[in-house]
Amino acid sequence: MFGSIHAHIKPEYVIKSHEECRSWKMNPILIPTFVQLTNMEMYRKKVQYADILNIVNEGIGELAHSLKDTVPVLFAVCDNEACILQIDGDSSMQQVMDSIGLKKGVKFTSCDTGTNVVNLALEYGTSIKLIGDDHYHHILHTAACYGVPIRYLSTQKVLGVICVMTDVGMDNPFLLPLLEATISSIEREIMLLDRNNQLNLFNAVLMESNQNGILITDPNGEIQQMNKAFLSFLNDIQFELATSNSFDFPKIGFYFQDVITHGHPHTNVSFIVTHNKIDRHIIAEFYPVFDQQYQLIAAVGQFREMQKT
């Protein structure tokens, strides 16, 4: 299939997996089997993972470019149910994998597919490599495979596994660390995407459903959004919006700076603004917004006029 087989000391997870394969009376001479997803199942998964796949593709593309002309590799991206969402790389290797049924839209299961990096990476939650006869099926003895789980950094929930396959003769101790480094970068990009999505949803709900003045900043105090009620408030304090940083605002800049610097909310802050000789009593609240890792992603100021009794 590929190159020559080489032997090495087998990891414990390989020994255990081979024992399970034998207990299932799996024939190693036969070609491993995969569960085929329906078109609708595959469509739903592609929609669910669309944003993540965009980030993954960019990261894998950079890794593939760095390996170009040195190591022929095949990349597979699997979800947390061990389904291949996409597969790409060396065309000759891809043709061989297609011929045994390893292609986009199939699912790995240990009891059907035998010893494989996808199920093992999901089971153990760590990086896995299978070299040569670490695979249970003989047809894969000339392949070297590496699989690394990919997670949401905020929750450590496993999203799936990214795998690399190459010829066993091209096994290289640097391939797995390279893949791990790539996935670390991908995970950070996914975390940023998740934060932005959370913040955009938060902003949309706050801005559309609130009649009070609202000002939202980033973690540096830079203005991100404000509503019409807050613009009216700016007119009342006779402040021209010549700055993009909330720290520069009179009367309220100190509170934004304290929220961002120390994470301290301020409630029931009262002050008077005078416009056209008319005093308006303003009640304000300032509070930080954190993501699931308790990292500051925004600061919010909310302003309302105290009703006269």
* pLDDT tens column, 206-236: 666 567 888 889 899 998 888 888 877 766 5
Please give the pLDDT value at position 45.
92
Please give the pLDDT value at position 241.
57
* pLDDT tens profile 138-182: 999 999 999 999 998 877 889 999 999 999 999 888 899 999 999
Distance from the Cα of residue 144 to its chain's centroid? 26
**273 contacts 199 by C-beta, under 8 angstroms:** no
**135 contacts 115 by C-beta, under 8 angstroms:** yes
pLDDT band at 196 (very low <50, low <70, confident <90, very high): confident
The DSSP bridge partners found for residue 78 are: 84, 161
Average pLDDT over residues 200-204: 69
Among the ranges given (38-52, 113-127, 131-145, 276-290), the one the predictor scored with the smallest mean pLDDT: 276-290
- For 73-78, the CB contacts below 8 A with 24+ separation are 73/164, 73/165, 73/166, 74/164, 74/165, 74/166, 75/162, 75/163, 75/164, 76/118, 76/162, 76/163, 76/165, 77/53, 77/160, 77/162, 77/163, 78/108, 78/118, 78/160, 78/161, 78/162, 78/163
Beta pairing class for 158-167 and 35-36: unpaired
**150 contacts 187 by C-beta, under 8 angstroms:** yes
The reply to whether the predicted model has a pTM over 0.75 is no
The one-character DSSP state at 277 is: T
**229 contacts 213 by C-beta, under 8 angstroms:** yes
> How many CB atoms within 10 Å of residue 90?
19
Q: Which run of H or E residues covers position 46?
A: helix 39-48
Beta pairing class for 128-131 and 223-226: unpaired
